[in-house]
Structure 1
């Protein structure tokens, strides 16, 4: 299934376009978390200790920007055995029912989402701890002897709008992942991602 199948109108109710901001710095320790996944299991950052890196992406089910990256993230999860791709949905499911845990579960069960884990941040506390502001908002975490630190924060590729196509075969996130797996620093520490603003539960 292609990402274009999920594109929605950019004037959807409540949708506000925004760009990610840099709050954590490269080398900062990644905030810990323990969140429920689509099977209602609690999943912590420490559970990915066997991975060389974690691509943690604050995302959701309904945003056209997030939908456009479903396949991109699925492909990264499939292509990198040593990298865990973890989606985290922080949106208010009461105001946006399409972002409910049940809908998350449906998207995993039908194969639309094939990340290593898809987690529900019901309070938005974890998204705030990372400084996430939009969906998708990706953070690449390097595993240094069991401690995760930020290696790269920013866009997955240069296709910043839902109907755009990337101009390069790889993409910024893949370049950053390749650098981390090679023991190097990504060329860029931060490149803004673009997406719908996070729909905070308390706003």
Structure 2
């Protein structure tokens, strides 16, 4: 298992790259599917990585607590080499309640992960809806300060960023990298 830190290619204010991906619920989702929300939290994640698994509960809580924030998990891992990251396995996680986000999407081509510059799972990107209705990057970095799966967090960076957005304030956080398993690229 290769451990990596996030290192985004996007900068604050950049528009969210578009996507059209199949969800674990069988529906197709695009960026516009979440246009009614004030903020969009896109997290590149997967089923099998212990670092990603350790954040399932936090992401479920955020999805439940914030009506104006869409939480979207995107799984880009090579499902041929890692069958536990297949769409079918993702659907099982949704059906058994392990994943309760607004959407859990499969990035089979890995083009979306590449467009965002995602490198690890979890790799979170928080966007705020701008005046022109587009989503712009407000924060990219760790969800909380528990970097290892068994650590207990004492600070929730993503909640601070979400609270700032919903209060109409700028996100005044240092972007500290997320940490997790490397994305399992096709033909590595």
TM-score bucket of the superposed structures, by smaller chain:
over 0.9
Q: Which of the numbers 9, 18, 26 marks the counterpart of 2:12?
A: 26
Across the aligned residues of Structure 1 and Structure 2, the Cα RMSD in angstroms comes to 0.9
In the alignment, the residues of structure 2 paired with residue 130 and residue 17 of structure 1 have an alpha-carbon distance, to the nearest angstrom, of 19
Q: Give 4+ residue runs of structure 1 displaced > 2 Å after superposition.
A: none
Q: Which of the numbers 172, 183, 186 marks the counterpart of 1:187?
A: 172
2:185 is aligned to 200
Secondary structure at the aligned position of 1:187 is classed as coil
* 1:16-73 per-position Cα deviation (integer Å, ceiling 9, x unaligned): 1000003100001110100000122210011101000000000000000000000010
In the alignment, the residues of structure 2 paired with residue 53 and residue 193 of structure 1 have an alpha-carbon distance, to the nearest angstrom, of 19
Corresponding pairs, count: 187
Unaligned runs of 5+ in 1: 1-14
**TM-score, normalised relative to structure 1:** 0.90
Secondary structure at the aligned position of 2:92 is classed as helix
**TM-score, normalised relative to structure 2:** 0.97
* 1:68-89 per-position Cα deviation (integer Å, ceiling 9, x unaligned): 0000100000110000000000
In the alignment, the residues of structure 1 paired with residue 182 and residue 5 of structure 2 have an alpha-carbon distance, to the nearest angstrom, of 8
**Is the contact made by 1:151 and 1:189 (CA closer than 8 Å) also made in structure 2?**
no
